[in-house]
Amino acid sequence: MQDPMTPRRFRIARTLRETKDIFTWELRAEDGGEFAFSPGQYNMVYIYGIGEVPVSISGDAADRRKLLHTTRAVGAVTEAMRALKKGDMAGVRGPFGSVWPLDKLEGKDIVLVAGGVGLPPLRPAVYHILRNRAKYGRCTLLCGARTPQDIAFAQELERWRGRLDFDVHVTVDSAGPDWRGNVGVVTTLVSRAVFTPEKTAALVCGPEIMMRFAAAELANRGVREDSMYITLERNMKCGIGLCGHCQLGPVFICKDGPVFNYGMIKQWFLKREI
Amino acid sequence: MKTLEQILAEHRFFRDMPPEYLRLAAGCAANKRFEAGQLLCREGSDADYFYVISRGSAAIEIFAPGRGPITIQSLGEGDMAGYSWLIPPYKYRLDVRAVEPVLAVAFDGKCLREKCEANPALGYDFLKRVTQVVIARLGATRLQLLDIYGKNLF
Ligand SMILES: Cc1cc2nc3c(=O)[nH]c(=O)nc-3n(C[C@H](O)[C@H](O)[C@H](O)COP(=O)(O)OP(=O)(O)OC[C@H]3O[C@@H](n4cnc5c(N)ncnc54)[C@H](O)[C@@H]3O)c2cc1C
Ligand code: FES
């Protein structure tokens, strides 16, 4: 087994510009091997000479030949990532962390709520659900972004929207006159979505404020808190529960998370003193 | 065919409303259709009607001189438009425009106001429902203002 502290070398096979500050890498292992992961997991991505950051895996778990990461450039490491080109190298440690409990949710209606760069960590869950569509009830993706130009995976969303067995609603916080779609924060879509609350599970990923309000809206509709799952982000270093950097109350986000059951994590998530 | 009361009872806005109130509300209501581009409410004009959208989508807009209408929030099935009917001075504060053809239940605001004045329990029931809509819109607007996807609030 690979030492979890030693990065594996990956080469960038393709880069895709999703929005002005979000980009996707398609990576191939230099050793020619495969990469296995489960939806919800992340890697520690190491940029030689700059630093290492946690980034969720945004590709299809069924395709082990390529590893996809979708990242928003916000600071030193992620800006350096954006500057890299096809053929450049990065180090990868992982996959780490907990997963969206998709097997456990079979038979339920699924509502996925994504805000901003919260969609990439949910995309592997969407791939899984669509591949196993008959195993789930009604499935809905509610997706929010700042403006129409900030919508990641726009073409893919359009394709998904064309499916009769998957409801996709996209909204933006603000838009110019040529935008024909929805305007308003993503939480406003919750009240309009069609699902049976008692048999619904929600997977929520985005900025913490958005997740808090989305959870409140879902609870308002009658979805149980222990049927909601959210992802948490904190500064990370080791990724394997050794350094304590990512501790939140009794849990380490790196290994107990990033995906948490909302009913379980709520008291720590909402605690202000931490 | 369903009666207007039955249609209302299925709307989110009227959820769990006592049947006698539904009957009073239905007495001031009629189905109405708007084509894409038509205004349901116009800023500054008398708030004579409010609408509960049955089908289609609309947009709450502010008109900016030199720029045209700016969409503040979209409305869809089950949403309510025109809450100014219950709140003095009974003037619409914003435009609401059909983005695609809208089928709505239109309520005569004056008719319903009179019933609310005469029957404070009915008035209080409506006030609570309208306030929920106002609070939800205010909450959504606050989140919009926060710019939650910005770099300082992850
Ligand atoms: C488990 C986990 C999974 C993640 N998955 C993804 C992912 O799939 N895609 C992705 O783009 N990011 C993801 N992140 C966030 C990513 O790790 C950070 O954006 C990154 O560490 C920032 O490092 P930096 O050196 O570029 O910026 P820094 O120099 O550390 O920060 C620069 C500025 O950016 C702000 N900032 C830092 N992190 C974020 C953030 N997450 N969002 C917005 N602003 C931020 C800081 O407040 C600071 O002002 C994930 C984080 C965790 C913990
Ligand atoms: S990152 Fe080291 S304990 Fe979580």
pLDDT recorded at residue B154:
47
Q: Which residue's CA is the nearest one to ligand 1's atom 30?
A: A75
Query: In the Cβ-directed half-sphere of A246, how many Cα atoms lie within 13 Å?
Result: 22
Interface test with B, best of A21, A79, A173 (most B CBs within 10 A): A173
List of chain A residues whose C-beta atoms are within 8 Å of the C-beta of residue B53: none
pLDDT recorded at residue A2:
75
pLDDT in tens, chain B (154 residues): 788 888 899 998 999 999 999 999 999 999 999 999 999 999 999 999 999 999 999 999 998 888 888 899 999 999 999 999 999 999 999 999 999 999 999 999 999 999 999 999 999 999 999 999 999 999 999 988 888 887 654 4
Ligand nearest to the CA of residue A253, numbered in listed order: 2
- Among A184, A230, A182, which Cα is nearest to A209's? A230
pLDDT in tens, chain A (274 residues): 578 888 999 999 999 999 999 999 999 999 999 999 999 999 999 999 999 999 999 999 999 999 999 999 999 999 999 999 999 999 999 899 999 999 999 999 999 999 999 999 999 999 999 999 999 999 999 999 999 999 999 999 999 999 999 999 999 999 887 888 999 999 999 988 999 999 999 999 999 999 999 999 999 999 999 999 999 988 889 999 999 999 998 999 999 999 999 999 988 888 776 5
Residues on chain A bordering chain B, Cβ-to-Cβ distance under 8 angstroms: 74, 115-117, 144-146, 150, 171, 173-175, 177, 179-185, 187-188, 191-192, 206-210, 213, 233
Per-residue tokens: B109 = 């605001």
CA A215 → CA A37, A109, A190, A227, distances in Å?
Answer: 27, 16, 10, 10
Burial label, B8 (beta-carbon count in 10 A; 0-12, 13-18, 19+): buried
- Among A60, A21, A41, which Cα is nearest to A231's? A41
Nearest to B76 among A175, A177, A192 (CB): A192
pLDDT recorded at residue B146:
87
Per-residue tokens: A220 = 């308002």
Per-residue tokens: B43 = 């800023």
What domains can be seen in chain A, in order of their start residue?
8-96 (2.40.30.10), 109-231 (3.40.50.80)
Q: What is the pTM of this model?
A: 0.92
Residue A239 Cβ inside 6 Å of ligand 2? The answer reads yes
Nearest to A188 among B71, B73, B153 (CB): B73
CA B1 – CA A131 distance, rounded (Å): 40
CA A90 – CA A241 distance, rounded (Å): 23
- Give the CA angle between residues A113, A95, A226 to the nearest 5°: 40
| Strand order through the sheet with B49-55 | B29-34, B102-108, B49-55, B80-81
Q: How many domains would you assign to chain B? A: 1
Domain holding B55: CATH number? Answer: 2.60.120.10
Q: Which runs of E-coded beta strand occur in chain B?
A: 29-34, 39-41, 49-55, 58-64, 68-75, 80-81, 95-98, 102-108
**Ligand 1: centre distance to CA A140 (Å):** 27
Residue B48's domain comprises 4-153
* ipTM of the shown complex: 0.85
